[in-house]
């Protein structure tokens, strides 16, 4: 009985704890919304701040 | 926390076949969760693979996409609060009319539309799922469908468990099946919240409306609950 939750507890005891996320793009341009990868128009740079922030309408709302 | 009372009631009233399917989905997702954790350190690490997690970046970088089945997900982190480390966004590739769209390798299929969002799954820092939520259209773009239609996509959401993300795919396939009844309620709550607004088109683009419905979950307690129900029926 309750074998699945026992397995889960045992698994969690050995799980790696991932550190909190580092701050990303402060500009929060439109390309940094939460859409799927094939949908978003990527900045072209892996690090934010390099983006051109063409669509900054979302900036104020996100932070 | 404890088991979701609505789910317990749902399973209590469900057919034997439905309970058996829920148990099967639960077992598959727990087994895959264990495999991913043992192999990679955690579900999160199976996508992050030792990199630093940067707000809004996608993990894995190109998402996990099953082009044939039209299903897609990725992990990222950016929300404040104690509930989660980050969350998964799940998508379905559909036309505006709700028909599945097939992506073809090497073709820019998504120049006009985005995959449609189904739901998000919050994970804690160990990779344990701790919440489910829905978001407004502006958050992810894509076509917007009502709860009933979106739920029909959720029922078909599945990725073929292949490649380096096979374990996390098995987990998410089983996990979504297991929580289908709760996901349906979340989608209905999402729509009800939007119905309070006079104009849907305006509401869907209202930056003040981001998360539209949210439910904390206790996965372990819900697993216990389905096992109790299955045992009660002698399944």
- Run of H or E including B116: strand B116-123
Contact between B31 and B170 (Cβ < 8 Å):
yes
Task: Residue window 23-62, chain A: list those with CB within 8 Å of chain B.
Answer: 23-25, 32-40, 46, 48, 58, 60-62
- The residue that leads in pLDDT, A49 or B187, is B187
Mean pLDDT, residues B140-148 taken together: 94
With pLDDT > 90 as the criterion, what percentage of chain B qualifies?
86
CB burial readout B133-165, b (16+ within 10 A) else e: bbbbbbbbbbbbbebebbbebbeebbbebeeeb
For chain A, the domain total comes to 1
pLDDT given for residue B110 in this prediction:
59
Report residue B113's pLDDT band, with 50, 70 and 90 as the boundaries: low
**Whether the predicted pLDDT of B43 surpasses 80:** yes
Contact between B55 and A19 (Cβ < 8 Å):
no
In this prediction the pTM is: 0.88
Instruction: For residue A54, give how far its alpha carbon lies from the nearest alpha carbon of chain B (Å).
Output: 17
For chain B, the domain total comes to 1
- Report yes or no: B225 at the A interface, CB cutoff 8 Å: no
**Whether the predicted pLDDT of A61 surpasses 50:** no
Mean pLDDT, residues B198-213 taken together: 95
Structure ipTM = 0.91
Q: What is the mean pLDDT of chain A?
A: 63
Structural domain harbouring A10:
1-59
Structural domain harbouring B169:
3-233
pLDDT given for residue A42 in this prediction:
46
- pLDDT tens digits, B87-111: 999 999 988 888 887 776 666 555 5
**Whether the predicted pLDDT of A25 surpasses 80:** no
Q: If 0-12 CB within 10 Å is exposed, 13-18 middle and 19+ buried, where does residue B207 land?
A: middle
């Amino acid at each position: 009985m309750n074998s699945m939750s026992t397995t889960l507890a045992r698994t969690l005891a050995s799980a790696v704890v991932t550190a909190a996320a580092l701050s990303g793009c402060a500009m929060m341009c439109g390309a940094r919304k939460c859409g799927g990868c094939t949908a978003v128009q990527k900045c072209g740079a892996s690090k934010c701040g390099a983006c051109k922030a063409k669509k900054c309408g979302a900036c104020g709302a996100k932070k | 926390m404890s088991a979701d009372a609505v789910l317990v009631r749902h399973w209590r009233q469900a057919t034997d076949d439905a309970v058996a399917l829920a148990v099967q989905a639960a077992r598959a997702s727990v087994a895959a969760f264990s495999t991913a954790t043992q192999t990679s350190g955690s579900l999160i690490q199976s996508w992050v693979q030792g990199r630093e997690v940067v707000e809004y970046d996608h993990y894995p970088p190109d998402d996990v996409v099953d082009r044939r089945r039209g299903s897609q997900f990725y992990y990222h982190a950016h929300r404040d609060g104690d509930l989660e480390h980050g969350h998964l966004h799940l998508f379905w590739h559909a036309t505006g009319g709700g028909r599945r769209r097939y992506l073809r390798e090497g073709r820019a299929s998504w120049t006009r539309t985005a995959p449609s969002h189904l739901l998000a799954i919050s994970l804690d820092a160990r990779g344990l799922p701790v919440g489910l939520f829905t978001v407004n259209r502006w958050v992810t773009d894509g076509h917007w469908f009502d709860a009933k239609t979106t739920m029909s996509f959720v029922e078909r959401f599945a990725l073929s468990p292949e490649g380096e993300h096979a374990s996390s795919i098995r987990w998410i396939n089983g996990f979504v099946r297991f929580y289908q009844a709760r996901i349906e309620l979340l989608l209905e709550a999402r729509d009800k919240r939007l119905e309070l607004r006079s104009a849907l088109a305006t509401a869907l683009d209202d930056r003040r409306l981001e998360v539209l419905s949210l439910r904390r979950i206790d996965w372990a307690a819900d697993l216990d609950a389905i096992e109790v129900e299955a045992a009660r029926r002698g399944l």
